[in-house]
Amino acid sequence: MAILTIILLVSTAFALGDTMIRPKTPCEVARDAVPHGLVGAYIPTCDAAGQYTPEQCWGSTGYCWCVNSSGQKIPGTETPPGTARIICSTQNGMIRPKTPCEIARENALKNVRPGVYVPTCDNDGQYKPEQCSGSTGYCWCVNSSGQKIPGTESPPGTVRINCSTKWK
């Protein structure tokens, strides 16, 4: 009986992660608190280190959203089932939804072939003011939506327009 109690205590208070016994993280505590077989419950997803994965989904409703490291939903990140899947990205320890530039870049990289232009994003995920096509060598300036600003394109080998000063 005493041994059983100890085993029970150990299994509820500790988790086996990376071959180390460590105390359960808040994510694991929350996850393991959901009774087995409870239909329709939201069960947090934790990574191997016991941290909340940036993307959380509620299986029974199909909703997904991004959370911060405390597991709190980041406002505006919830997507209903059947809509474009949410992509949560980590940056400087902060979790935020991927930006249009990052999504466009990812899609372009999935489909690399000659002539496909891969957008360049800054650290905040915004379009860099100057975009270049690796395959053609052309560069041009874009506005914050990533749209080419007419008249800014320069062919390879020519003097490039300074996109940061002129078109900001």
Q: Does 61 bind ligand NAG (CB under 6 A)?
A: no
Calpha distance 118→137 (Å, rounded): 12
| Structure tokens belonging to residue 46 | 């934790």
User: Which span (23-31, 35-43, 76-84, 142-150) binds ligand NAG, by CB under 6 A?
Assistant: 142-150
Strand partners, 57: 64
CB of 12 to ligand NAG, least distance (A): 25
Q: Does 51 bind ligand NAG (CB under 6 A)?
A: no
CB of 52 to ligand NAG, least distance (A): 10
Q: Does 126 bind ligand NAG (CB under 6 A)?
A: no
Residue environment code for 93-117, b if the CB has 16+ CB neighbours within 10 A, otherwise e: eebbbbbebbbbbbeeeeeeeeeee
Q: In degrees, to the nearest 5, what angle opens at C-alpha 50 toward C-alphas 10 and 93?
A: 150
Among 35, 145, 157, 159, binds ligand NAG (CB under 6 A): 145
DSSP SS3 for 16 = strand
Q: Does 154 bind ligand NAG (CB under 6 A)?
A: no
Among 11, 90, 143, 158, binds ligand NAG (CB under 6 A): 143
**Interface with ligand NAG by CB under 6 A: which residues?**
68-70, 72, 143-145, 147, 162, 164-165
